[in-house]
Amino acid sequence: MRSAFVAACLAALAIFVAVQARAAGALATGRCGAFGYAYDDVSPEAASLRARAQCKGRDCRVVTSLRKTCAAFAIDAKNACGPSGWAQAGELAQAQSIASEQCQRYGGRSCVIRAWVCDQRG
């Protein structure tokens, strides 16, 4: 009975370690509201490659890598090819607020969150 309990604890620990190891994310942005993201990936490099591959627009590039954080991307709703902003923060609401503020700072009048991503408890 005791050995079954120990085995169950070890299995739970192994799952926890495996989940913790998959804690890399990235946000890519491009022109005219294009974006791509990845989360809970095996490495920052893998997350960056996946985010970049998902970004279906022109001039896409990875703007931030994530590890236990969130990121958000905001665009001007009336002009998707106009001002935009992005941010990374410990909490989603904070990332969204900062991204929207950045969009407005660059001239956006009707900024909205276009995409967001959180990585492993961010």
Residue 13, pLDDT above cutoff 50: no
Residue scoring higher pLDDT (22 or 118): 118
Give the separation between CA 34 and CA 77, rounded to whole angstroms.
Answer: 13
Mean pLDDT (whole number) for 18-45:
86
Q: Are strands 70-76 and 35-41 parallel, antiparallel or unpaired?
A: unpaired
Give the separation between CA 97 and CA 88, rounded to whole angstroms.
Answer: 10
Residue 14, pLDDT above cutoff 70: no
In the prediction, which pLDDT does 2 show?
Answer: 58
What pLDDT, in 10s, does the model give residues 57-114? Answer: 889 999 999 999 999 999 999 999 999 999 999 999 999 999 999 999 999 999 999 9
What pLDDT, in 10s, does the model give residues 35-49? Answer: 999 999 999 999 999
Structure tokens at 2: 């005791």
